[in-house]
Structure 1
């Protein structure tokens, strides 16, 4: 009883406030017009202003709020059914008053025509209908020769269908605004002009789709869709669109003529029967409708169309549009995807280096269709963006608006990501590390190959996070606490995963210092190899023997880069003690000159091969040192060829490489050798020959 009393008191106060507001708007409040309230009313108002009564009323109103949820839902359903009954009754009653409304509208329109001049008004309406077609024919004749010369290009052929429709629309619009119209005739002329332009664009767009899906693919001249099937659906869809837009023009023209809403609904439902018949005839006479399965699908589609018309008559607009979308949206997406693929086949060379255009075709067309469908569905369901700042917005409207906005945001994020990825991938493909380019260009390409993949991954995370936050904000969720909570969680995760954080931060500083790039050979502790790829926390090294090692940035430490700027290669040779060092130096110089003149090795030599001199005297040989300066990574091939040339040159000039030898002999051989040495010494002292 306490809850009922509280609700009753609050209801009385709301009615009093409403009555007071209405009274304030309708009649000016003066001290002489308003009678003082009775004493009992004054006492009740003073009592309700006390804090105790206000607190008790607040608690009593909060309690039944949850229990009235089901009642509100039932009230919504009953209101919708009651609205449907009233709508049918209103439309049924319009059939009795329609003749009188037709007579009244005819008198209004004919009176305006007589006042403005019948011949002038008829001429203006005919000009709106005919001028666009005449201008389009003249433009077609002017560009016929150029169009025939470029008929082999698919883009030109498609533009030849779209441009005349644009010219037609501009000519019709300029004709409309160039005349002076009475009020009723102006509204009718605008509706007719819009219908004519829309049907012209529909025909042009349908022709473009037909041209695309019937383009030959490959050497076998196969097509995506049979031309006969495509022409059948093109004619039926064109007829449906033309009937629809001119029916819409009729309904729009009835408004300025003074027709009631019930009469407009009645005419609309009658015209809707024509749409039902066109759709039904299309599914019954479609190609391939001979099998039993197709026959069953035809009956189901016919019942579905009948259901749509019934839902429309019952004025369940939200259910009508949902059913229409379930039927049409998948078909529209399938046809658009098929048309885009056909365009890819036809213009493979045109789109090969136009990656942005390719992404716009692949993702942009699909995103545009879905976004337009979502926005239109939201508009038909009554979800308007103007309710965003209203405090009395219902939860259903907020969620519906958030879903529609979320779909658009996700589609935009998906399109943005694919555009960015296509641009970055194009840069990577256009900047290969191999090829005959200058050293400066190689450095730039290596830098791009290193940084762009990481930037691409970071950008993907940023786009996803921003898109999710925008979707949550559109659904009415406060993202401020989420961001603050994410910061706290990030700090906690940072403390718990210090190794990962260390790897990520170390990688950022390695890249900042430009310590290594993709394609360079590095050594770090026990790890060495060619840098193949990066991630946010690790680098992949390919060993020269094949194994691939993934090393976290935090474990790299000091990095030795063997492919940066230049490298010096030193060669040590051992020659015998009787070698002519001056002659050896000249031979080494000649070999260095030959290396410079070689077209394969010369461009990679910074300082050619030269002899530095004698490094040391060994037990059995003289060690000489050679050196050369080359580009990083090229010293191995040049070294191998230089050694082969040195060996051949030394052999031709009688220069021998020193090698350690061991001579073993017995006692007699030793005594004989000693005696021979004495005899040779004595002979040399006496000036006699030793042999």
Structure 2
């Protein structure tokens, strides 16, 4: 009968102690390297925020408005870095524990071939059964690490458009414009359109009658955009003065004039509504006529 364990004093005890010591040293070194990487990344973000704060009085309005968003961006960066560090730390612990256990079993004379064979068969079966789960977790880790989106971002996943409420390793929770909550598996997200990174653009189309002078109407709209840009309520919203692009479309009975405004992320909707309201009010005050209804529009001449 072959004994299950082979124990020789003090050789076996010394070998096990050496395995434990090497494992603890490796764990200390790897965890320290991860913590150093996390601290370095956070320090870079802190220096960037400090430089933006120091230069706030000397930069353009565009840079100043974007600089005020740096705090939220850095906070998300810190959360992403800490999450990645936590995942790496847990992975290191799991790998080291498995290797240490197998090494100790080898020292004790336990045949590892049956164990490894059984583990291989079980691993294959588990991989087939949980491959979608593994895919979700890997995709979640990569999305967090790459900062594809974060809480508060308005994103388009292909299946649903909504605001991110939570980002997990397996699922992402969104709330669409109707208030419905969606749970999207990270492994099923093939593409992401993020409308909240960098800046947004407000597009305003102002209609006037085809009989009106477009040049005169454009001059009026330029006065409106200058007024909106000088308004204090948009000091932290508009990155630059809205641009009157000019005539965008001509149809029977109407001319469409377009205004473009560069805003802070997700702030374009309010700017669009206010610009349109002020533009129509200014045009009416100047006597510029609205487009005629389709039935009342003069017939097109050949």
TM-score (norm: length of structure 2) = 0.65
CA distance in 2, matches of 1:654, 1:612: 22
The gaps in structure 1 that reach 5 residues or longer are 1-58, 66-386, 664-691
Report the structure, 1 or 2, having the larger strand content. Answer: 2
Structure 2 residue 277 is matched with structure 1 residue 644? yes
Give the one of 420, 429, 443 matched to 2:73: 443
- The SS at the match of 2:179 is coil
**2:292 & 2:8 partners in 1: Cα distance?**
93
The answer (yes or no) to whether the contact 1:620–1:658 under 8 Å persists in 2 is yes
Higher helix share: 1
**Corresponding residue for 2:153?**
520
477 and 563 in structure 1: CA distance in 2 versus 1, 3 angstrom threshold = farther
**Residue 574 of structure 1: CA displacement?**
1.5
Q: Residues 469-510 of structure 1: CA distance to partner in whole angstroms, max 9, x if unpaired?
A: 768978987799467865664344223333223323333444
> Which of the residues 203, 209, 215 maps onto 1:570?
203
Aligned to 1:590: 223
Largest Rg, 1 or 2: 1
Number of matched pairs: 249
Aligned: 1:621 with 2:251:
no
1:657 to 256, 273, 290: 290
Q: Residue deviations 1:293-315, cap 9 Å, x none?
A: xxxxxxxxxxxxxxxxxxxxxxx
- Going from structure 1 to structure 2, the CA distance change for 1:508 and 1:461 (only over 3 Å counts) comes to closer
Alpha-carbon distance, 1:586 to partner: 1.8
Q: CA deviation at 1:565?
A: 1.8
Cα separation, partners in 2 of 1:583 and 1:494, compared to 1, 3 Å = same
Gaps of 5+ in 2: 47-64, 297-302
Per the alignment, do residues 484 and 593 of structure 1 end up closer, same or farther by CA in structure 2, a change over 3 Å counting?
Answer: farther
Q: Note the 1:6-25 alignment, pairs <5 A.
A: none
Quick one: structure 1 residues 478 and 507, their matched pair in 2 at CA, closer, same or farther if it must change by over 3 Å? farther
Residue of structure 1 in register with 2:176 after alignment: 543
User: 3-state SS of the aligned residue for 1:490?
Assistant: helix
Q: CA deviation at 1:569?
A: 2.6
Q: Please give the alpha-carbon distance, in whole angstroms, between the structure 1 residues aligned to 2:66 and 2:260.
A: 27
Out of 498, 503, 506, the position equivalent to 2:131 is 498
Q: Which whole-Å CA distance do the structure 2 matches of 1:458 and 1:656 have between them?
A: 65
Q: Distance in 2 between matches of 1:499 and 1:518?
A: 24
* Contact 1:450 1:534 (C-alpha < 8 Å) held by counterparts: no
- 1:557 and 1:570, CA in 2 relative to 1: closer, same or farther beyond 3 A? same
Q: Does the CA-based 8 Å contact 1:539-1:553 persist in structure 2?
A: yes
Higher relative contact order (CA closer than 8 Å, sequence separation 6+): 2
Say if 1:454 and 1:536, in contact at 8 Å, map to a contact too.
no
Instruction: Give the deviation of 1:538 after TM superposition.
Output: 2.3
Aligned equivalents of 1:539 and 1:581: distance in 2? Answer: 48
Matched, 1:390 2:23: no
Distance across 1 between alignment mates of 2:279 and 2:67: 31
Provide the C-alpha distance between the structure 2 equivalents of 1:597 and 1:554, rounded to a whole number of angstroms.
Answer: 46
Quote the offset at 1:441 in angstroms.
4.2
Matches within 5 A, 1:306-325: none
- Alpha-carbon distance change, 511 to 630 in structure 1, aligned in 2, over 3 angstroms: same
* C-alpha distance in 1 between matches for 2:259 and 2:109: 73
Residues 451/522 of structure 1: CA separation in 2 closer, same or farther (3 Å cut): farther
Determine the structure 2 residue equivalent to 1:599: 232
How does the TM-score come out when normalised to structure 1? 0.31
Post-superposition offset of 1:388: 9.5
CA RMSD of aligned residues (A): 4.1
* In structure 2, C-alpha distance between the alignment counterparts of 1:450 and 1:598, rounded to whole Å: 36
Looking at structure 2, the residues matched to 496 and 645 of structure 1 have their Cα atoms a distance apart, in angstroms, of: 60
Distance, in Å, in 2 between the alignment partners of 1:581 and 1:528 is: 37
CA distance in 2, matches of 1:612, 1:442: 32
Alpha-carbon distance between aligned partners in 1 of 2:121 and 2:186, rounded to the nearest angstrom:
25
- Cα shift at 1:550: 1.6
Q: Aligned match of 2:264 in 631, 634, 655?
A: 631
